[in-house]
Structure 1
Amino acid sequence: MTTDTLNGPAETEVPRHDWLLYSGMGAVGLAAAASSYAALQDLAMRTGWWPWLSWLLPLTTDAYAMTAVRVWLGHSTRSTRARAWAKANAIGAIVLSVAGNAVDHAIASHVIAVSWPLIVAVSAIPPVVLGLLVHMAHLRALPPAAPASGTPAAEGRRQTPPPAMAAPPLPIPPAAPAKPKRRQPRRPVTDGGKRQALSPGPTDEELIEAARERSAAGQEPSATWLIKTYGIGTRRAGRIRDAALDSSAPEPKSADESTTEAELVLTSGES
């Protein structure tokens, strides 16, 4: 048996710091930062930035790239969405820095001229970068997403023993039948069961006069108009219409006139 078997599992070897690697990375980083800084500052001045503020453009671009890479590769980032967003922003920041350097050198070589779309694009870099970084900070504060089913973490959770089964619920007794509702007795009629007398309608003389006025106004006194206006029957409406149109026909007598004529006949008979 080996010594590792007797003394337990062998400890993992901690990687040693490679100072030569770190030195090379630092030298390349300083050279790249200096050259990119100078090109981006020159681009800001060419597009109308004030000289005492032109250094903010390279600082914004390089700080944006460094922050995005830190969130992307840092162990403190727990949200998968934040890590994916930081990765996309890191690549975008590097592409933005490369494009800015290329545009500045192209302008210096008189390959392209400074135009208004270029001025708008360079001026929009600071606010756009600020909005992207704020969104990145919000995503970084989110808790890690729950593992989906089928992942090793979810399978490990399934190995926990299930809780004890609860006792079955007791049967619910049937509810008592509802009692039928008693009907309320009808209230007695207070007016003695008599119907209220309807108000008398217009007489035939009034209807004929109204029909004649309508005819004098140039409108036809039809039976339909009489029925809808005064609510009379069909036969009476036809009679009123004919009497109104026939001016020579005698008008229907009222009840008082009929009574007076009957009294005169009886008086003459008695004499």
Structure 2
Amino acid sequence: MTTPEHPDSPTPPVPRRDWLLYAGMAAVGLAAAASSYAALQDLAVRTGWWPQLSWLLPLTTDAYAMTAVRVWLGHSTRNARARAWAKANAIGAIVLSVAGNAVDHAIASHVIAVSWPLIVAVSAIPPVVLGLLVHMAHLRSLPPASPAPSTPAAEHEWQAPEPAPAAAPPPIPPAPPAEPKRRQPRRPVTASGKRQTLPPGPTDEALIAAARERAAAGQEPSATWLIKTYGIGTRRAGRIRDAALTAPAPAPEPTDAPTQNGELALARGQT
């Protein structure tokens, strides 16, 4: 006779099956499948599918949703990535079925018209669903990601002691203050102490005469010419140019004052 290893541990009760719950789920499932099947088949016919193959669109959508829910909630799914991917695909399949039903009813009520983007979207459902399911099957086949178990031998292995912290280096003494810069001694003053005088330049009269000669030769006595030729300032060059271009006033003619006075006296005596 065998005894249980832990007689005091409580055994979780086995939940009973609620057949009424299952019956309600089956009824709602059949009604939803029939209505969604009819709407999606009609949408396939409206978007150009052959009537003989229009039943494949609702079959693809419903099978996609059922497979994703099975992988999401099934106990056989051990990989967390596969379970997360299946959850996202299950929600996406339900949204896809709802959107297909809504579009078919909108077309039947003449709310929207069948356009080429709608045709492309409906035609792309089977290949896209196939690719998503293949990726889901690949993730489900991967082993569960679990941390590496620690062995007892590894726990009792000798571990090297941690090295003692290194002593702090001694403080660096402050640098000595920098010496003040020494000023360069001034150059000795020469014995004379006089500045070198420059030779005198040409006078204004000479410059005016030179400018007039240039004008008489048929060339313009400009200020630039005066500056480059004689090395004078701009203002002085302008003044010399204006004076040279201004014609000099004619000198008064000399008169013989005593002769004119004598002639006047002689004329008065004759009268």
Q: TM class by shorter-chain length?
A: 0.5 to 0.7
3-state SS in 2 of match to 1:112: coil
Which residue matches 2:32? 32
What does residue 154 of structure 2 align with?
162
User: Is residue 18 from structure 1 mapped to residue 18 from structure 2 by the alignment?
Assistant: yes
Deviations along 1:109-139, one digit per CA (max 9) or x if unpaired, are 0000000000000000000000000011111
Aligned in 2, Cα 1:105/1:17: closer, same or farther, shift over 3 Å?
Answer: same
Query: 1:58, CA displacement in angstroms?
Result: 0.0
Residue type matched to 2:145 in 1? A
Which residue of 2 is the match for residue 56 of structure 1?
56
Structure 2 residue identity aligned to 1:96:
L
Structure 1 residue aligned with 2:122: 122
Distance 1:163 1:7 in 2: 32
Tell me, which stretches of 5 or more residues in structure 1 are unaligned?
1-5, 148-153, 169-271
Largest Rg, 1 or 2: 2
- CA deviation string 1:122-158 (max 9, x = no partner): 00000000000001111110111123xxxxxx7xx45
Report what 1:83 is aligned to: 83
Q: CA deviation at 1:162?
A: 3.4
Work out the CA distance in 2 between the residues paired with 1:68 and 1:54.
23
How far off is 1:10 after superposition?
A: 2.7
| Aligned-residue offset at 1:78 | 1.0
1:35-184 to structure 2, matched below 5 A, reads 35-147=35-147, 157-158=149-150, 160=152, 162=154, 165=157
- Give 2:134's aligned amino acid: V
Distance 1:164 1:81 in 2: 35
Amino acid at match of 1:162: A
TM-score norm. by structure 1 comes to: 0.54
Structure 1 stretches (4+) deviating beyond 4 angstroms?
Answer: 163-166
- Rounded Cα–Cα distance in structure 1 between residues aligned with 2:82 and 2:143: 10
CA distance in 2, matches of 1:113, 1:28: 31
Q: Give the length in aligned residue pairs.
A: 154
Partners of 2:157 and 2:26 lie apart in 1 by 63
State the secondary structure of the residue aligned to 2:154: coil
Local SS of the residue matching 1:49: coil
Paired with 1:15 and 1:164, the residues of 2 have a C-alpha distance of 45
**RMSD over equivalenced CA pairs, Å:** 2.1
